[in-house]
Structure 1
Amino acid sequence: MKIALFTETFLPKVDGIVTRLTKTVEHLVRAGDEVLLFCPEGAPSLYMGARVIGVPALPLPLYPELKLALPRPAVAEALEVFQPDVVHVVNPAVLGLGGIWMARTRQIPLVASYHTHLPKYLEHYGMGVLEPLLWELLKAAHNQAVLNLCTSSVMVEELSQRGIQHTALWQRGVDTEMFRPELRSDAMRRRLMGRHPDSDSLLLYVGRLSAEKQIERIRPVLDALPQARLALVGDGPHRAQLEKVFEGTATTFVGYLGGEELAGAFASADAFLFPSSTETLGLVLLEAMAAGCPVVGANRGGIPDIVTDGVNGCLYDPDDDASLTAATLRLLASPERREQLRLAARHEAERWGWAGATAQLRRFYRDVAGAGLQLAA
Structure 2
Amino acid sequence: MRIAMFTEVFLPKIDGVVTRVVRTLEQLGELGHEVLLFAPGEPPAEYAGHEVVTVRGVSLRLLYPELKVGMPTPAIARKIEAFHPHVVHTVNPVWLAAYGVLSAGRRDLPQLASFHTDVPTYTESLRVGWARHPLESWIRSIHNRAEVNLCTSGPMVERARDVGIQRVGLWPKAVDTEGYHPSRVDPTMRDRLTDGHPEAPLVVYVGRMSREKDLEQLVEPMRRLRERVPGARLAMVGAGPFLDGLKRLFDPAYTVFTGYLSGTDLAAAYASADVFAFPSTTETLGLVALESMASSVPVVGARAGGIPFVIDDERNGYLVEPGDVDGWVDRFERLLTRPEHRRTMGEAARRESERHSWRAATETLVEFYDQAIDAHWSRHRPLTGPLLDRFARPMPRALD
* TM-score bracket for the superposition, by shorter chain length: over 0.9
Q: Find the counterpart in structure 1 of residue 12 from structure 2.
A: 12
2:277 to 268, 273, 279: 273
Amino acid at match of 2:195: G
C-alpha contact (below 8 Å) 2:39/2:52 kept by paired residues: yes
The one-letter code matched in structure 1 to 2:264 is E
Separation in 2, partners of 1:90, 1:102: 14
The residue number in structure 2 matching 1:193 is 194
Contact persistence 2:148–2:371 (CA under 8 A): no
Secondary structure of the 2:77 match is: helix
Given candidates 241, 247, 268, the residue that maps to 1:243 is 247
* 1:143 and 1:376 in contact (8 A); partners too: no
RMSD: 1.5
Letter in 2 for 1:263: A
- Structure 1's unaligned 5+ residue stretches are none
Q: Which letter does structure 2 place at the counterpart of 1:79?
A: I
Cα shift at 1:333: 4.3
State the Cα deviation string for residues 202-252 of structure 1 (Å, max 9, x = none): 110111111111111111222122220111111111111111101344001
Matched, 1:102 2:106: no
Q: In the superposition, relative to structure 1, how do residues 28 and 315 fare at CA in structure 2: closer, same or farther (>3 Å)?
A: same
| Correspondence for 2:178 | 177
Q: Does residue 359 of the first structure (1) align with residue 360 of the second (2)?
A: no
Equivalent position of 2:386 in the other structure:
none
What pairs up with 1:308-323 in 2 under 5 angstroms? 308-323=312-327
- The equivalent residue for 1:202 is 202
- Give yes or no for contact 1:146–1:375 (8 Å, CA) kept in 2: no
Is 1:283 equivalent to 2:287 in the alignment? yes
Distance 2:51 2:222 in 1: 47
Alpha-carbon deviations, 1:158-197, whole Å to 9, x = none? Answer: 11122110000000110000000011121111011124x3
Match of 2:342, SS state, is helix
1:321 Cα deviation (Å)?
3.7
Q: Which moved more, 1:132-141 or 1:356-365?
A: 132-141
* Conserved 8 A contact 1:8-1:69: yes
Secondary structure in 1 matching 2:292: helix
How many corresponding residue pairs?
376
Deviation larger for 216-225 or 177-186: 216-225
Cα distance change, pair 198–45 in 1 and its aligned pair in 2 (3 A): closer
**1:39 alignment partner in structure 2:** 39
Question: What stretches of structure 2 of length at least 5 have no aligned partner?
Answer: 382-400
8 A Cα contact 1:206 1:232, kept in partner? yes
Match of 2:335 among 313, 331, 334: 331
Taking the TM superposition and a 5 Å limit, the aligned residue runs for 1:341-360 are 341-360=345-364
The match for 2:393 is none
TM-score by length of 1: 0.96
Q: Say which is worse superposed, 212-221 or 289-298, in terms of deviation.
A: 212-221
Q: Deviation per CA, 1:40-89: give whole Å up to 9, x if none.
A: 03111111110000010101231122211111111000000000000000
Paired residue type of 2:256: T
Aligned ranges 1:101-140 → 2 under 5 Å: 101-140=102-141
Q: Distance in 1 between matches of 2:292 and 2:261?
A: 14
Contact kept, 8 Å, 2:125 with 2:212, in 1: the verdict is yes
